[in-house]
A and B are shown apart, each in its own frame.
Chain A
Amino acid sequence: EPEVTQTPSHQVTQMGQEVILRCVPISNHLYFYWYRQILGQKVEFLVSFYNNEISEKSEIFDDQFSVERPDGSNFTLKIRSTKLEDSAMYFCASTRQGPAAENIQYFGAGTRLSVL
């Protein structure tokens, strides 16, 4: 069964460093998402991406964050200068249909980001 894959599973970085989290969405999906989950808290929406541009973003997704689909398969989240509070589990998700349809999002296993 097709699945969303994320790499790495765990990323450790120093505060102020740039990190890139990588995701390979399901191949025929058109809408892509990033969410994050701080330990013990609820899953929070960060950004959605469709047709090579951001379609929606949350307040969390400030200028330190960016997303890119550099080729036909990868979808990346970049954090330019990490802060301690960026430590969280980051989930990538994808769906074939957009919000007008039943928006069942398929999630990857996540990347645990630890900022020291």
Chain B
Amino acid sequence: SQQGEEDPQALSIQEGENATMNCSYKTSINNLQWYRQNSGRGLVHLILIRSNEREKHSGRLRVTLDTSKKSSSLLITASRAADTASYFCATGDNTDKLIFGTGTRLQVFP
């Protein structure tokens, strides 16, 4: 798989349900970040987890990181219609660039 592959590619749920998205990567990282993109818009930073952290929370978001499996998950609890967007993981290392995943399109139905 490529650096930053996510699954599922698309996810449809009802409001109030939880949404879980997964990301896998291949190289060593300093941190892993999750970004959100509304259709045709820019990327909004959601949360960053360092390579020495295993779990992090921010509001309704929970991120886990397993560096031994080179994978991360993003959990959105009690989803809302406004959470409808694409979600991307991005890995940061000692270089300047972020390497983005393929993204998960989340659709939350009211």
B80 close to A (CB within 8 Å): no
How many residues does chain B have at the interface if contact means C-beta atoms less than 8 Å apart?
Answer: 27
Contact code string B23-64 (vs A, CB < 8 Å = 1, else 0): 000000011010100001111110010100000000000000
B98 close to A (CB within 8 Å): yes
A binding-site residues for B, Cβ under 8 Å: 4, 31, 33, 35, 42-45, 48, 50, 55-56, 58, 89, 91, 93, 98-100, 102-110, 112
Q: What are the nearest 5 A-B pairs in CB distance? A: A48-B96, A45-B97, A43-B100, A109-B42, A107-B43
Asked if A99 and B33 sit within 8 Å, CB to CB, the answer is no
Contacts A4-B42, A43-B90 supplied; 4 other A-B pairs, CB < 8 Å: A42-B103, A99-B93, A100-B94, A109-B41
Chain B residues with CB under 8 A of A4:
42
Closest B residue, CB atoms, query A50: B96
- CB < 8 Å: which of A33, A43, A45, A55 contacts B88? A43
- CB < 8 Å: which of B33, B44, B99, B103 contacts A45? B99
Interface residues of B in 49-89 (CB under 8 A from A): 50, 88
Chain A residues with CB under 8 A of B99:
45
Asked if A42 and B42 sit within 8 Å, CB to CB, the answer is no
A81 to B33, CA, bound (A): 34
B107 close to A (CB within 8 Å): no
- CB < 8 Å: which of B31, B43, B45 contacts A91? B43
